[in-house]
Structure 1
Amino acid sequence: MIKFIRSLYFGRRVFYALFGISLLFLISFWFQPLYSITWIITAILGVLVLTDIVALYSKSSISADRLLPEKFSNSDENTVEIQIKNDYGFKLHAEVIDEIPIQFQKRDFLRSIELQSGKKIRFEYLLKPLKRGEYVFGNLNIYVFSILKLAKRRFVYNKDQMVKVYPSFIQMKKLDFMALDQKINMHGIKKIRRIGHTMEFEQIKEYVRGDDVRTINWKATAKHKQLMVNQFQDERSQPVYSIIDSGRMMKMPFEGLSLLDYAINSSLAFSNIALKKKDKVGMLSFSNKMDKLQKASSKLSQLNRIMEALYNVDTGFYDSDFSLLYSRIKKNITHRSLLMLYTNFEHISALNRQLPYLKAIAKNHMLVVIFFENTEMTKLTNITPENISESAHQTVAEQFAHNKLLMAKELQRHGIQTLLTPPKDLSVNAINKYLEIKARGLL
């Protein structure tokens, strides 16, 4: 009985009808013949409501399911599919209310649909998570009512479904083609001129205009009676690490995502490209203590291991310990490697405190320090100030922007590769930097 009461609701038409009947009873106080007519209308309404309830609570039912992907991609649109089948012998109207995870703070989800008898209907909606972790869906509530729309019956399905939100693997797949030598032209992707020959021999081919004459193979030329040149490919199986600072400076938000999320999405896309270039990839995260360490490997399963290690990494309110990072790298990364360090410095004094450790790391490894432009400050530098207050804000913003450039120059002066980038362009710029290092044979 309690289950029946909890599932039964009345439609708006019932309340409108009751309001009208109440009004008629009030009028019948002065107009006596209306009193009997009002009771007849009330009886008719009661019969119709009872009929509607009996029809909805017959042995027939509906079936529904919420179909979730195995995992969500952070900062991307993810599809959730709802399937509903009407097993009643008549057409139904339905209102679908899905209890979306609290992280989205969305409490107005409502879909109104028609369900033909014996037919199945599907519809989709999109969710864009902005934080990694576990997301729990509540009830899938479906309120069905007949053509009379006097009573509603609630069906509940798929309570407490959980889906994990991983770093952006959709972005990773979009950037897959950057691993190819013949890259498609795309805004932000640079063609890197190859210099030097610190690369592995690949094949001998016919000379074409533009080939380096220093690569001519004279023995093959004499044999084939035409110019032949040696062709080289990038060195493979080189260890490449993504090092992610998860300290308080990476908590800063830009366009809904924290700097840490940008760094994690970029490191995943970058690791995918490095694997396709036949290099070994690994990752390391740290703040005031060492969090995750994944040794470099070229196995295909390495990307999944990195994804599992990264999906739950979070920022704290502690300053990052670069001395601890240096000691951990010295102990665990013994071969010369490419280290892509994702961090952030907002003032040159903060960089100067960590510079001795960065220089020590760069002695044994190819270190690339990646830090972020403050895009909000950059916007202030481009406005036309209209009063003294705006002029003061612009001056401070210009000082911050200038400090960022000084920090990049200071790192380069000590032989440390640097990448200063807006957060939204991080993935493309990081991959470009990796391809540049490979092309120049710096590692």
Structure 2
Amino acid sequence: MRPGPLLLPALLLWALCGLAVVLELLPLHAWQWSGLAIAALALLDGWRLLRLPSPEVERELPDALALDVERSIALSLASPSHPLRLQVFDLHPGHWWSEGLPQTHRINAGRQLTLYYRLRPGERGDAVFAGTQLRLYSPWRLWRQSRMLGTARQVRVYPDFAPLTRFALFSADQASHLVGAHLKRRRGEGTDFNQMREYRVGDSLRQIDWKATARTRKLISREYQDERNQQVVMLLDTGRRMMAREGGLAHFDQILNAALVVSYLALRQGDAVGLMASGGASRWVPPQRGAAAIDVLLRASYDLQPQPVAIDYLQAATELSLRQRRRCLVMLVTNVRDEDIEELLLAVRLLQKRHLVCVASLREVELQQALAQPVRDLTDAVHAGAVARYLQQRSDAHERLRRQGVMVIDVASKDLPAALVERYLAVKRDGLL
């Protein structure tokens, strides 16, 4: 229990009375009696504060939140028998952005108060709301007391799955356009039979079904669709390079979001999708298909965090080769540097014995921006030269991968979802699996 907003002014007034006594403006007994009165009021007010019952507190909070998505949180407080004046602090994770706390309110006896504040999770994984802290004021506001109420509550912070729920309203092709993928359209040239239809100008002769044509006495074409029931594995780098931040999010958060987008679309296409994380934190989810598979991927990856260690590409490739026997499309998302290229080439050669490999390398936007800055002096020239040399070495590393027969994607993190979707659909379209 600590002094309230009115006790200190009362003590200051009593001190002024003592000064007046020293200056012989007031008699001594006036100062004594005023001190006794203040002490008696303070003791009585403190006793009344200690006897005040704590209000009932309930927090309306879902079990799952989305990373970097602002949400409104409601707190309900009820005072059963006494009016209360209080200040409310909700003990959410301290590094998260919040707005609207603390709040000061008065609750009448027998009434309920609901207050709201805004919260934006700043990190994926498990988070704990320790409880609610209330600062109660005594009836005469001479004292205040802090009380911890409510029970600790654990929530899960997932990647931002709002794009996935938006994609559910569209077909796979429409959802692909939403992420910005530029698709080359074909008509009826897949490998799985889809339907019979009338001949259209542009159909090849091998599409014509001559038996159906003879029966109906008009040209009938077979229409095919891209082969289904194939497998895709997203291989994600959880090493130190994914700890870099851009646009408020770590690179790993951005590649995880992109991996979930392409996984969702692949599942919509009838393929099975798996996930493997390697470098720092490790995780393995075998390929599976169906609408429920995206929930499995979300639950398996929501708490993955990059760690300040270097990824071992060869170890990751060996582990994946042992776990994934059936041929699949492996989409490795990382940040390729020239010093890694020899080990990475060994890793992709191992994977290529059975699988089709695509390497997506995140491009640092800051380096492109630094290269575009004007050169004013020798320091700027040295800096620009170093950046240009680094980018050239990075480009050479990508070219060595391409000569090995690896599909390479070199994009900034904001363009990664569209690039991955576009490459996945190109693989389907060309029948490379």
Identify the TM-score tier after normalising by the shorter chain. Answer: 0.7 to 0.9
Structure 1 residue 89: Cα displacement: 4.2
Letter in 2 for 1:237: N
Q: List runs of 5+ in structure 2 lacking aligned partners.
A: none
2:129 aligns with one of 137, 152, 167: 137
- Which is further off, 119-128 or 48-57? 48-57
Aligned to 1:397: 387
In the alignment, what sits opposite 1:263? Answer: 255
Partner of residue 326, structure 2:
335
Q: 1:187 to 1:166 in 2, by over 3 A?
A: closer
1:5 corresponds in structure 2 to none
Alignment coverage as a number of residue pairs: 431
Do the aligned partners of 1:178 and 1:273 also contact (CA within 8 Å) in 2? no
Q: Which residue of 1 aligns with 2:161?
A: 169
Tell me the equivalent position of 2:287.
Answer: 296
Provide Cα deviations, 1:313-356, integer angstroms capped at 9, x if missing partner: 44444443333333333333222211111122122x42233213
Whole-angstrom CA distance in 1 between matches of 2:414 and 2:276: 22
User: Structure 1's 179 and 46: CA in aligned 2 closer, same or farther, altered over 3 A?
Assistant: farther
1:323 counterpart = 2:319: no
Identity %: 22
Asked if 2 retains the 8 angstrom alpha-carbon contact of 1:168 and 1:265, the reply is yes
Shift of 1:376: 1.5
Match of 2:180 in 1: 188
Aligned residue among 258, 270, 285 for 1:278: 270
Distance 1:358 1:34, change over 3 A: farther
Note the C-alpha offset of 1:240. Answer: 0.9
Matches within 5 A, 1:21-420: 21-33=14-26, 42=35, 45-46=38-39, 49=42, 52-53=45-46, 55-58=48-51, 60-90=53-83, 92-101=84-93, 104=96, 110-117=102-109, 118-130=111-123, 132-145=124-137, 148-176=140-168, 180-183=172-175, 186=178, 188-194=180-186, 197-205=189-197, 212=203, 215=207, 217=209, 229-287=221-279, 291-347=282-338, 349-420=339-410
Q: Secondary structure of 1:124's match?
A: strand
Whether the 8 Å CA contact 1:14–1:150 is kept in 2: the answer is yes
2:268 partner letter? K
Matched-pair contact (CA < 8 Å) for 2:233–2:275: yes
CA shift for structure 1 position 18:
1.4
Given the two structures, how large is their TM-score scaled by the length of structure 2?
A: 0.84
Distance 2:159 2:192 in 1: 33
Counterpart contact for 1:373–1:401, Cα < 8 Å: no
Aligned pairs for 1:422-441 (under 5 A) are: 422-441=412-431
Helix, strand or coil: the match of 2:282? strand
CA contact (8 A) 2:89 2:103 kept: yes
- Rounded Cα–Cα distance in structure 2 between residues aligned with 1:37 and 1:219: 119
SS of 1:305's equivalent in the other structure is helix
1:4 aligns with none
SS at match of 2:173: coil
Letter in 2 for 1:269: V
TM-score by length of 1: 0.83
CA shift for structure 1 position 79 = 4.8
Residue 335 of structure 1 aligns to which amino acid in structure 2? R
Query: How far apart, in 2, do the equivalents of 1:227 and 1:274 lie?
Result: 34
